[in-house]
């Protein structure tokens, strides 16, 4: 089967799987990550087929929506890829990307390591969608989904958060900027990703400055 047909099958599977998902993690998010990844891949000597499939499948079983279970995403990915009859090496590469893509894994120094250029690209693409204007919108969408406070000055950001603390956090959404979003720029893998992240990071800082100006009302 041609790559284009395999991509189309994957798109259909992902759209059906993410039907009625929280708006920050739905098909539109997936499609943006794919576009980001393919754009970054133009500047790297990467396997674009692996990049595209991994981008499409990276949130197929996000642990945030499965009681913190991190095995669901890789498991569902592997099961689906078996239906495409891909070479085992390609399938396992994609499964490993899905398994290791999450930001929270960077908070666990004991976790197993997996490295590949394609992981770097998909990870950068996903992180770019977590920052900037889209990132701000997604943060507050997820905060509302979880019924979290927008901001509480008495609750300070945890800047030394462990992976488990990150997974279980119920802190206000503004804290999330300091606990993750403003850290993303420094964790980018590719030079192209870093350049785009720089622009989006600046936008978030400007947003926060305006937010604090408005927080107590007009003076």
pLDDT, tens only, 162-193: 878 877 789 999 999 999 999 999 999 999 99
Q: Tell me whether residue 87 is exposed, middle or buried, using C-beta atoms within 10 angstroms of its C-beta: 0 to 12, 13 to 18, 19 or more.
A: exposed
pTM for the predicted model, two decimal places: 0.90
Q: How many domains does the chain have?
A: 1
CATH number for 166: 1.10.3210.50
Residue span of the structural domain in which 44 resides: 3-215
In angstroms, rounded to a whole number, what is the distance separating the alpha carbons of residues 211 and 145? 21
* DSSP per-residue string spanning 51-109: HHHHHHHTTTT-GGGTTT-TTHHHHHHHHHHHHHT--HHHHHHHHHHHHH--GGGGG-T
pLDDT, tens only, 10-65: 999 999 999 888 888 899 999 999 999 999 999 998 999 999 999 999 998 765 55
């Amino acid at each position: 089967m041609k790559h284009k047909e395999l991509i189309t099958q994957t798109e259909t599977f992902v759209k059906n799987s993410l039907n009625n998902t929280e708006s920050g993690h739905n098909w539109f998010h997936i499609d943006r990550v794919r576009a980001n990844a393919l754009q970054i891949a133009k500047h790297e000597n990467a396997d674009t087929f692996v990049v595209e499939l991994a981008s499409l499948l990276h949130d197929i079983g996000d642990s945030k929506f499965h009681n913190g279970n991190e095995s669901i995403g890789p498991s569902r990915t592997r099961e689906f890829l078996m239906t495409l009859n891909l070479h085992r090496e390609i399938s396992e590469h994609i499964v490993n990307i899905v398994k290791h893509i999450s930001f929270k894994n960077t908070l666990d120094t004991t976790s197993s390591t997996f490295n590949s250029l394609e992981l770097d690209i998909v990870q950068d693409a996903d992180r770019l969608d977590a920052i900037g204007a889209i990132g701000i919108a997604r943060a507050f969408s997820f905060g509302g989904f979880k019924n979290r406070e927008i901001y509480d000055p008495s609750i300070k950001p945890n800047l030394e958060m462990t992976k488990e603390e990150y997974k279980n956090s119920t802190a206000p959404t503004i804290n999330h900027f300091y606990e993750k979003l403003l850290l993303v720029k420094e964790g980018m893998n590719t030079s192209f990703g870093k350049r785009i992240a720089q622009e989006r990071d600046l936008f978030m800082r400007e947003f926060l400055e305006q937010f604090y100006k408005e927080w107590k009302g007009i003076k």
